[in-house]
A = this chain, B = another copy of it.
Amino acid sequence: MSNLRDELIEHGILADGGAPGLYHRGGAFENVVSGIEALFRSLDPYDSPRWVMSPVTTAQVLVDTDYVESFPQLMGLLDGFHGDAREARTLADTAHDGGEWWQQLDATGLALRPAACHGLYPLLAGRQMPPGGGHYEISATCFRHEPSDNPARMQTFRMQEFVVVGTPEEARAFRDAWLERALDAHRSLGLVVEAEAANDPFFGRASQMMSQGQLEKELKFEIVAPIAQETPNAISSANYHEDHFGTSFAITTSTGVAESACFAVGLERSALALFRRHGVEVSSWPTDVAARLGL
């Protein structure tokens, strides 16, 4: 298999961002991403209100959503400089002498957002969802600390999510309908995709049990497509959260604690799968695919 990363960089689709998993995105890549986002938005049957979540969140949200115990290895917390002019001089001198200048910084209480829809639930805290459920289109730039040379594993990436918060029946039906809709959408772009039951990359001692539980209860399905390696990567996923967020943030329906589900499109991964499938020259992509993406 050709080296997709090198090919994308050579053709100015991506540029090396200076460390493994960091990339600048060229205009052609961005046009494909915008096309994917618009295509999926056009499929949303609810004309949902749209929110772009802040890419920076509070560190406390990582505790409130149990992210700190499930995925500590993926977190990014922000340090800042809180010193005076004299300490700033020492900081700059240490930096230019090649010393460990970052040791002179302190916590800010801020962190990078690990998942788009995690920003929504605090906004709904204490509220009762309407009959039929609340529907939302959520997107965000997310961060996961997993340095890699595989372009399918970027450390920052954008997710577009369609979310329902409602009854268990509403959550399950929403999740299943989006899975079918998205398989069709990815296929309409020429991708060879499959849906499979999946689990999140839980960390630590309870990880096996957590993953097993997720698989057995069929809480998560991923749509996978080949990107840079033989093993396909998830390009989108359908997730049923049960009452995880409803309980954490006291969100209800007329019949009890609210449940939630989301369908998440990995915008970079969906774009990369298209570059893998159709080549690095967007002008040579099939006419119907280009038209669907507004290219």
Mark A residues whose CB is within 8 Å of B. 12, 15, 17-19, 22-27, 30, 49-63, 68-69, 72-73, 75-83, 85, 88-89, 91-92, 95-96, 100-103, 105, 107-110, 112, 119, 122-123, 137, 141, 143, 145, 155-156, 203-205
Contact = CB atoms under 8 A, between A and B. Distances in A.
B72 A145 contact: no
A279 to B, nearest CB: 20
A57 B22 contact: yes
Contacts of A19: 58, 109-110
A30 B52 contact: yes
Contacts of A54: 17-18, 22-25, 156
A8 B83 CA distance: 34
A208 B25 CA distance: 37
B203 A85 contact: yes
B63 A49 contact: no
A55 B89 contact: no
Given A76-B78, A92-B72, A58 B18 contact: yes
A153 to B, nearest CB: 14
B22 A56 contact: yes
Contact of A119 (B24, B30, B79): B24
Nearest to A109: B19
Contact of A18 (B101, B122, B204): B122
B77 A53 contact: no
A100 B106 CA distance: 12
Contacts of A105: 75, 77
A43 to B, nearest CB: 17
18 contacts: A15-B123, A18-B57, A18-B58, A24-B51, A25-B52, A54-B156, A56-B143, A68-B91, A69-B91, A69-B92, A69-B96, A73-B81, A73-B88, A78-B145, A89-B205, A102-B107, A108-B145, A110-B155
Contact of A27 (B22, B49, B109): B49
A51 B26 CA distance: 5
Given A18-B58, A95-B68, A77 B49 contact: no
A51 B81 contact: no
Nearest to A137: B27
Contacts of A141: 55, 141
Nearest to A51: B24
B18 A51 contact: no
Contact of A88 (B69, B92, B100, B108): B69
Contact of A75 (B12, B80, B137, B204): B80
B81 A79 contact: no
